[in-house]
Structure formats: C-alpha cells, structure tokens
C-alpha cells in the first residue's frame, strides 16, 4: 500500500503518539477529533473518499437491469447489475450537462435515459445514443460513458471506493476474510431496517460499539443475556477489530422475550458451529460498519457521517432467506431487543457529544475494559498519520490471561470450532475477561 497523505495530519505528532502508547499509558483522541469541522472534512477526503466503504447488499440489485442509488459523501452513485450479471457502480451524472440520470432510489431498467436531452447509457455504462453529436470534434461514444466507481463484493456486501488508485478491498479487510471463511452470508436478506439520526460524531458511536464497560448500567437487558465481563477479543490484522461475548446458559440469542433469549424457532445460520451457538461476535469494519453475528441473524450497522456532530445510522437485521420464507417467521423479538439497545447507546453517545464540547474537557484515558476502543482509535490515528499499513494491535494483552501451563496444548477453540483457531484469536475459550462491547 502506498503512503496516502497529501494534506497535513489533523493531529499533532504528540497527540498521535499519545494514542499509540500501550493502553495503560495512552490517552483518547483529543476533543477536536470529534468536534472540529476541519477534521471532519479531512476524514471525508482521506477516509470516506479513499477507503472501501460498505454501501449495501448484492440483493439490492439481484437481476440484470435492477439498480439502486447509493449516497456516498454527497455523491449519488448507481449500483446496477449488467446483462452479464456483473454488479457495477457509476456516478449518477450524465456526461452531457451533468444531469442526474436516475431519479428513483431503485428500480429495473433496460437502459438509463437522461431525463434532460435523452442521452442513453446501457447497463454497462456505455453511451449508446446522443443525438446531434455526429460532427463534434474530439468526441466518441466510447469516451463519454458514465464515469465508473470501483466496486467489490464480499459475503454479499457491496463496497465502493471513490479512489481509482486504491488497493483492492482484500487489503483493507486483511485477515477478516480468513476469519470468516466458515460463513457464507450471501444468502442472507434484510427482514427489517431502522434508521437513526444521532447527534454524535461517528467515532464516538464506533467507540461505544467497541466496549461493554457501559453495559451493566446502560443495557441491563443485554447484560442479562451476555454479561459484560464474559468474552474476549481477536487480534486483528487489517482494517477491522472484533471480539465476542458469551451467552448465559439460558439464552440462545439476543432477543426481547423476557430475558430467555430464545431464537423463536429460527434455525442457526449456515456455518454457525457449536461454539458460535454460545456467542455473539462483534466486528467493527473500518471505517463505518459494525457487523454483529448472532447464531440466527446478522445485525448490520452502517454509519453515514453527516457532520462532526451528526451521524445517520442504518441498521439491518439479516436472516437466511429460507428462514424469512418460513410460515410464521417473526423477527420482532430480535428487532425490539436491538432497537432498545441501539437507543440506549445513542442516548449516551449524544450526551458524550454534548459533554465533550465543554472547554473543560481534555482527552480521557482508557480503562482495562476499553482496549478495543483503543484498538479502534489506533486505526483512526493510522489514517490521521498517513501510515501505509495498519498498526499492529495486540488487544489480548490487556487481559489478565493466565500463562499456559508448561506442556499444556493450546485449546485453539477461539472463534472457529472447525478448521483450527482463527488467525490471531485469543486462546483460552471461556476465559472471564473484559468484554468487547
Ligand atoms: S444533460 Fe443529460 S442529456 Fe443533456
Ligand atoms: Fe452499548
């Protein structure tokens, strides 16, 4: 990966260094990282427009000619499936005088016809009709197709990158791809979407998702199903971080049914192992996505930063398509649980946004239950400092894990019950430890 910085870093070297210290000595990001419009603009230019951003699911455009419009940093993009069944992304901008070519948020078309002077583009973005252009100089239909945007998919998710020079998505995902190799989430479908408008910086929301230090007080319902101090973290290699929390014996998943956490008859997703049945996995996918794997559903949070102090959060509950098609399928227990939990989180994030505005506030400290917040912030300062790769974050060191007994073999059960341990997975399953969210 090439060095990516062109503008001065938004923080001083000393501020970046203080985040990069080992967590016991480190300080949080300084106040202006969450409040300064100039830093927000820097993040738009250097993160949102340079990194791969998850924008949707492949099923949003399932058949040739189906398309969906996606907004990214003020850009309207068309994600469309071509006649060859390939998914592509284009700027929604006519090459004539710049009119938005597609108006509806989604649909099915045989071609795109600009509503202004009727230039026509095929599903692969080629210009195929433009009247009165025959005698133009230095003009050809080949050169005046819709401008393309890079698009890649993984596990049914659609990612786009506005930077033509960006490295492939795989470089950003790092070893998360191997880590998830037992899953195939392409057949999942959204059964419910809820959007939240949250008056907090996107990084406060990501930090909140990364720890469960706040759970006993903020989420009494969640804490009953997955006690905040039962879980562990993975050592990430790439633009992600994650860990798991363990379900109490009486619980099968996260749902609001009187605290029993029953899956309401829903089967587990494909690839879920016996070990996975007892866990909820939480992943922050740099920069703006959270993926929470439950035995029977995948919860997706997509953050859309609107300003330094405002974030739109799109939350989807994904289930196996077959499960959704089952008569009597009802996701409302899972939806109600996470809607409640989400609102509890947004409330404290908004209070934090308000509190940290004060002239009295200076960057705080990480407790030993917040090393995964530290891990997220290190990704932030990796970007702020223009580093050419992700810094190594050894989150497990924060735990007081007893050293293996001499001669004892590694349990190797973390995260992957088949096919050996996940890369970087923490050893010592069921170790009581500070949790991840
Ligand atoms: S602006 Fe699209 S055809 Fe003129
Ligand atoms: Fe929370």
Nearest to 353 by CA among 385, 292, 420, 306: 306
Q: What is the pLDDT of residue 158?
A: 98
Domain assignment present for residue 117? The answer is: yes
Residues 135 and 258 in one domain: no
Query: How many angstroms does the Cα of residue 42 sit away from the middle of ligand 2?
Result: 28
Domain with residue 144: its CATH number is 2.102.10.10
Q: What is the pLDDT of residue 7?
A: 57
Structural domain boundaries, residue 66? 53-162
Distant-in-sequence, close-in-space partners of 140: CB < 8 Å, separation ≥ 6: none
Q: Measure the CA–CA gap between 232 and 163, rounded to whole angstroms.
A: 35
Residues 109 and 182 in one domain: no
- Give, using CA atoms, the residue closest to atom 1 of ligand 1: 97
- Give, using CA atoms, the residue closest to atom 4 of ligand 1: 117
Residues 23 and 111 in one domain: no
Q: Measure the CA–CA gap between 41 and 307, rounded to whole angstroms.
A: 9
The reply to whether ligand 1 has any atom less than 6 angstroms from the CB of 115 is no
Least confident range from 187-191, 264-268, 301-305, 375-379: namely 264-268
Tell which one of 119, 125, 144 to mutate to probe ligand 1, the residue whose CB is within 8 A of the most ligand atoms.
Answer: 119
The mean predicted confidence, pLDDT, of the chain is 89
Q: How many domains does the chain have?
A: 2
The ligand 1 atom at the shortest distance from the C-alpha of residue 115 is: 2
Question: Quick check: helix, strand or coil at residue 194?
Answer: strand
Residues 287 and 243 in one domain: yes
The reply to whether ligand 1 has any atom less than 6 angstroms from the CB of 116 is yes
Nearest to 209 by CA among 349, 319, 312, 57: 349
Ligand nearest to the CA of 437: 2
Residues 139 and 178 in one domain: no
The reply to whether ligand 1 has any atom less than 6 angstroms from the CB of 354 is no
Residues 185 and 314 in one domain: yes
Ligand nearest to the CA of 130: 1
pTM of the model: 0.89
Share of the chain above pLDDT 90, in %: 80
Domain with residue 372: its CATH number is 3.90.380.10
Residues 214 and 143 in one domain: no
The ligand 1 atom at the shortest distance from the C-alpha of residue 118 is: 3
Q: Indicate if the pLDDT at residue 221 is higher than 70.
A: yes
The ligand 1 atom at the shortest distance from the C-alpha of residue 119 is: 3
Domain C-terminal end among 138, 162, 186: 162
- Give 212-247 as a DSSP string: -TTHHHH-HHHHHHS-TTBEEE----SSEEEEEEEP
174 and 239 Cβ atoms separated by less than 8 Å: yes
Tell which one of 92, 97, 144 to mutate to probe ligand 1, the residue whose CB is within 8 A of the most ligand atoms.
Answer: 97
Q: Phi and psi at residue 225, in whole multiples of 5°?
A: -85, -40
Residues 319 and 196 in one domain: yes
The reply to whether ligand 1 has any atom less than 6 angstroms from the CB of 99 is yes
The ligand 1 atom at the shortest distance from the C-alpha of residue 130 is: 3
pLDDT in tens, 107-131: 999 999 999 999 999 999 999 999 9
């Amino acid at each position: 990966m090439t060095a990516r910085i062109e503008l001065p870093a938004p923080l001083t070297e000393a501020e970046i260094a203080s985040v990069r210290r080992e967590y016991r000595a480190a300080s949080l990001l300084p106040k202006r990282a969450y409040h300064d419009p100039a830093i927000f603009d820097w993040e738009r230019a250097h993160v949102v427009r340079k990194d791969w951003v998850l924008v949707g699911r492949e099923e949003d455009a399932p058949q040739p000619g189906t398309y969906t419009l996606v907004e990214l940093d003020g850009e309207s993009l068309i994600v469309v499936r071509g006649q060859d069944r390939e998914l592509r992304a284009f700027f929604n901008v006519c090459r004539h005088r710049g009119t938005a070519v597609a108006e509806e948020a989604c649909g099915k078309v045989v071609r795109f016809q600009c509503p202004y002077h009727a230039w026509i583009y095929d599903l692969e973005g080629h210009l195929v009709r433009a009247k009165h252009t025959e005698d133009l100089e230095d003009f050809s239909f080949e050169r005046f197709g819709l401008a393309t945007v890079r698009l890649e998919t993984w596990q049914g998710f659609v990612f786009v990158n506005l930077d033509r020079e960006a490295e492939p998505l795989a470089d950003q995902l790092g070893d998360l791809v191997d880590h998830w190799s037992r899953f195939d989430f392409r057949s999942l479908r959204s059964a419910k979407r809820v959007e939240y408008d949250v008056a907090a910086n996107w990084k406060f929301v990501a930090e909140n998702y990364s720890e469960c230090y706040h759970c006993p007080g903020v989420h009494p319902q969640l804490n009953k199903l997955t006690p905040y101090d039962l879980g562990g973290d993975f050592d990430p290699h790439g633009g992600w971080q994650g860990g798991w929390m363990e379900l109490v014996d009486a619980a099968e998943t996260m749902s609001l049914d009187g605290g029993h956490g029953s899956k309401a008859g829903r089967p587990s997703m494909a690839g879920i192992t016996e070990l996975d049945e007892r866990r909820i996995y939480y992943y922050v996918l740099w920069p703006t996505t959270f993926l929470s794997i439950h035995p029977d559903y995948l919860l997706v949070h997509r953050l859309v930063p609107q300003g330094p102090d405002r974030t739109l959060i799109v939350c989807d509950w994904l289930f196996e398509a077959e499960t959704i098609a089952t008569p009597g399928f009802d996701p409302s227990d899972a939806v109600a649980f996470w809607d409640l939990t989400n609102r509890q989180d947004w409330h404290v994030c908004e209070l934090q946004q308000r509190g940290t505005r004060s002239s009295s506030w200076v960057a705080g400290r990480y407790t030993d239950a917040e090393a995964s917040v530290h891990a997220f912030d290190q990704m932030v300062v990796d970007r702020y400092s223009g580093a050419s790769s992700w810094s190594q974050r050894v989150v497990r060191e924060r735990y007081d894990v007893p050293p293996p007994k001499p001669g004892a073999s590694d349990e190797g059960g973390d995260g992957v019950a088949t096919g050996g341990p996940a890369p970087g997975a923490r050893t010592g399953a069921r170790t009581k430890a500070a949790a991840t969210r």
